[in-house]
A and B are shown apart, each in its own frame.
Chain A
Amino acid sequence: MKNRLLWPLLALAALLVLNLVVTPSFFSLRIQDGHLYGGLVDVLKNGAPTLLIALGMTLVIATRGIDLSVGAVAAIAGAVTCVHIGASGDAGTAFAGMAIALVLCALLGLWNGFLVAGLGIQPIIATLVLMTAGRGIAMLVTEGQIITVNNDPFRQVGAGFLILPISILISLAVLGLVALTTRKTALGMLIEAVGVNPEASRLAGVRAKTIIWTVYVFAAVCAGIAGLMISSNVSAADANNAGLWIEMDAILAVVIGGTSLAGGRYSLTGTLLGALIIQTLTTTVYTIGVAPEVTLVFKAVVVIAVCLVQAPKARAALSFRKVATT
């Protein structure tokens, strides 16, 4: 286990060192008005939605699936909440709006689960449907406008601080919760069993379909919460751009973390590292002063490098190191 996390850890360390060299102030932390400020805190704050979505994605990928619709679901969550809040400023409306949004996201997750587990459609394609239609639905909710709200309780979700940014606290809490429920019970093993061989696990008495439904619902709810963070951070819902390409970042985080796209073993710590690497990479590109859009080139290089390191064939070809005898 430790061995698999070595490479992501090294990559993260290398990125941080690069930052230290280029912008020495990157590591300085200061407390102002009871808030922690600094480059590292920014990484955590901006990385919170990606981490959350990547957590849901980890479980989905562990069952040999993939969820492309998370970005669209995030946009829908933000749109529904902002439309519900409207001009209101009180906490009750904000919480009601968020609750409605999350219930709706759970329903969207059920829908994905139905397509994948119920109808047996390939996950990439099944979730492609919601990825395409989802942005349309979000646009429908916001009527094509960017809805701005002015609601302080809602603003706290994405932009608030309890010394640390509230958003990262939420993400870490979810991480802890997932780690507890999947690693301290048999659930994690069952998920891995479904990913390794759905048919065999079904014959062994694992309720494979129920597990698949569950992970898609979980992924959608995670995406919903992430959508709330994104829209809360800017106090606005943008149906077109909220969570755009975040599904790619999330998948990338999971893959960097050492979870194989072929399903089976997954690593939550790996996903955490992966999400941090991606966010640090993005921030680094910003601080170095390269146009932020160019981040995509770096991401592409990282994806290919990570995939090559993981691929058994590539390892054998490069005799990179002996294939681990697990």
Chain B
Amino acid sequence: MTALTTKLPSRFLPVLATVVLFALTFGVGSGLYDGFASGQVIANLFIDNAFLIVLAAGMTFVILSGGIDLSVGSVVALSTMVTAAGLKAGWPLPLVIIAVLVIGSTLGLLMGLVIHKFDIQPFIVTLAGMFLARGLCFLISVESVSIKDSTFRDVATAVIELPGGVTITYNVIIALVVVAAALFVLHRTRFGRTVYAVGGNEQSALLMGLKTARTKVGVYVISGFCSALAGLLFSLYMLSGYGLHAVGMELDAIAAVVIGGTLLAGGVGYVLGSLAGVLVLGTIQTLISFQGTLSSWWTKIVIGALLLVFIAVQRGLIRERR
């Protein structure tokens, strides 16, 4: 335990920085605007970003292993489309959910296999996956399909009251369960430790006799599964399926993971950091909407600037380690 506490500062520094940043942005908001520092605003952060939390959790696995997944936004769109089209065709809800999750995981599996078996860069393979998933959306329908299924709508609008009058949706609970599961897998299973090892140094991991192949493919399956699940949450949030949903969401997810302190080179990072990263992005959006006169495009600029700062800090950290 003592060894852990002495190690704590440097290992957790990036995550701590993100948490501090979240506290700061939130503090600024509370200082400036009445009603900002309410439980409901915090709850809304989770409600509005539940799908992003799930995406970022999946993306964390991929980036930790030293890869990248550009297809997640498109897989979210495809999932909303399959959900909407499936429900419209009269499929039972459980079947739709299973279909969506299987499609997402299969896409991830295929991309992972191509990346691993043929040694092609993850960037270009997942780019192809991104095209494919978006194209498939439009094969189903070019128009937006609204979801009219009553059970689905009930789940979407159902609220859970927490002590203190704060309400959340089922989306939030699912997102938090995903984060907990990700934490468990990363830190308490052999697979999770192998993910860190592969990201740290693939050659060494291989020489140590770790199952690098299974791990490298596995992270893309996880990311695909998370994207599909995020797509289901997004359908609950939007109540429609559309091929142009979630355009650019892969960038938000990557940004959240990077701001959360995960090194893009792989091997270092935490799911909780990614969660904090999503909350920072959400707070910035909330701040800008509270401010009222600043336009929404400032969000993009601020996220870009934050991304830059965190990447620059990462470079500094890596140089220091060498």
Interface residues of A (CB under 8 A from B): 66, 115, 119-122, 124-126, 128-137, 139-140, 143-144, 239, 248, 251, 255, 261-262, 291, 293-301, 303-304, 307-308, 311-314, 317
Contacts and interface: CB of A to CB of B under 8 A. Distances in A.
A304 B135 contact: no
Contacts of A317: 117-118
B303 interface: yes
B267 to A, nearest CB: 14
A139 B127 contact: no
Interface residues of B, number: 44
Contacts of B125: 304, 307
B117 A125 contact: no
A293 B135 CA distance: 6
Given A294-B138, A313-B119, A299 B298 contact: no
B255 A299 contact: no
Interface in B277-322: 295, 297-301, 303-305, 307-308, 311-312, 315
Contacts of B299: 136
A245 B305 CA distance: 22
Majority-rule SS of B interface residues: helix
Given A132-B251, A255-B124, A304-B128, A144 B312 contact: no
Contacts of A297: 131-132, 135-136, 139
Nearest to A135: B300
B260 to A, nearest CB: 14
B32 interface: no
Given A297-B139, A311-B118, A303 B128 contact: yes
B301 A296 contact: no
Contacts of A132: 251, 255, 300, 303-304, 307
A313 B118 contact: yes
Interface string B223-254: 00000000000000000000100000001001
Contact of B138 (A248, A296, A307, A311): A296
Contact of A121 (B121, B134, B139, B315): B315
Nearest to A299: B131
Contacts of B304: 129-130, 132-134, 136
A136 B297 contact: yes
